[in-house]
Amino acid sequence: MNEENSMNLDDRISKETLLYGYIAISASTNRLSHNFNKTLKEEGLNGMMIPMNIREDDFYFTLSNMKKSHVNGAMLGIEYQKNIIELLDSSSEMVQKSRACDFVKRVGHTLEGSFISGEVVKTFIEKNPSIKKIVIVGDEPLARSLALLLQEYELSFYDKEIEKLLRMSEDLHLSIDINYLSVNGVDFSGFDLLIDTTMEDISSSIVVGAKINLDTKDTKTFSSLRQLQNYIGFDDLLDFYTNYLIEDLKQ
């Protein structure tokens, strides 16, 4: 079996193995499972992450049945992070405020949801002390999460629809710097970090990118930032996601 696509490095499961899933339409092409399993083996931990290719038609059935399964938790691809909300029995404050869940745990026969991508991005930023001035595009869950988590930084928010940012500001009870993302293009070169949270093509709205350009999209998902220099995507954040999940596994 190809090591990149294996469930873990020796494909063995015992009754004591803590099982995690990565649920997405194209989960098997994502390297999170391999990275997670490799790190588990290096640390001598008995766990495994299994990539689960789940179609939209099967998503609700799969997650509903997770309550009665042996799977302890699952990461969710960006396409399912909003859909799962109605299936959760409990959720973190960040899930409620961001309106999305990217990590679900089975607690007994219930599902408990968290939204960890904001924490992952915050950790990345903290590892780069040169980052002071940040621009965030969109009002998607990641933008909402970062608005709450990065208040000590100089933040500016951009969107093609100003009303969306106004609603986000009201929902979060935060005063934020709101700007129009012009179709004629914006020069972001004065920012240390540009974060795109949208699923749209905003390429024409970027005249010049920031010093670092980041989103959490995997290689199978279109990214407006991938063409820019110093691009950071999901694959570049694998270690941050893995470390977060392993700390959860140890609890």
Domain boundaries, the chain: 3-115, 119-236
Q: Which residue type is seen at 248?
A: D
* Least confident range of 67-71, 131-135, 209-213: 67-71
User: What's the pLDDT tens digit per position in 140-193?
Assistant: 999 999 999 999 999 999 999 999 999 999 999 999 999 999 999 999 999 999
Fold: same for 3-115 and 119-236: yes
Residue with tokens 């350009």: 213
**Alpha carbon distance 26, 22 (integer Å):** 10
**Average confidence (pLDDT) over 216-238:** 94
Complete edge-to-edge strand list for the sheet that includes strand 231-232: 178-180, 154-159, 133-137, 193-196, 212-214, 231-232
Q: By the 8 A CB rule, do 32 and 75 touch?
A: yes
Whether CATH 2.40.40.20 fits 3-115: no
Handedness of CA 39, 222, 200, 137 (dihedral sign): positive
User: What's the pLDDT tens digit per position in 60-108?
Assistant: 999 999 999 999 999 999 999 999 999 999 999 999 999 999 999 999 9
| Residue 211: pLDDT over 90 | yes
Q: By the 8 A CB rule, do 136 and 153 touch?
A: no
C-alpha distances in angstroms, 67 versus 162, 165, 237? 40, 36, 29
In the CATH scheme, what is the homologous superfamily, with its name and number, of domain 119-236?
NAD(P)-binding Rossmann-like Domain (3.40.50.720)
Q: By the 8 A CB rule, do 61 and 30 touch?
A: no
Give the per-residue pLDDT at 5. 42
With cut-offs at 50, 70 and 90, classify the pLDDT of residue 12: low
Contacts of residue 8, defined as CB under 8 A and 6 or more positions apart, other chains included, come to 37, 40, 41, 48, 49
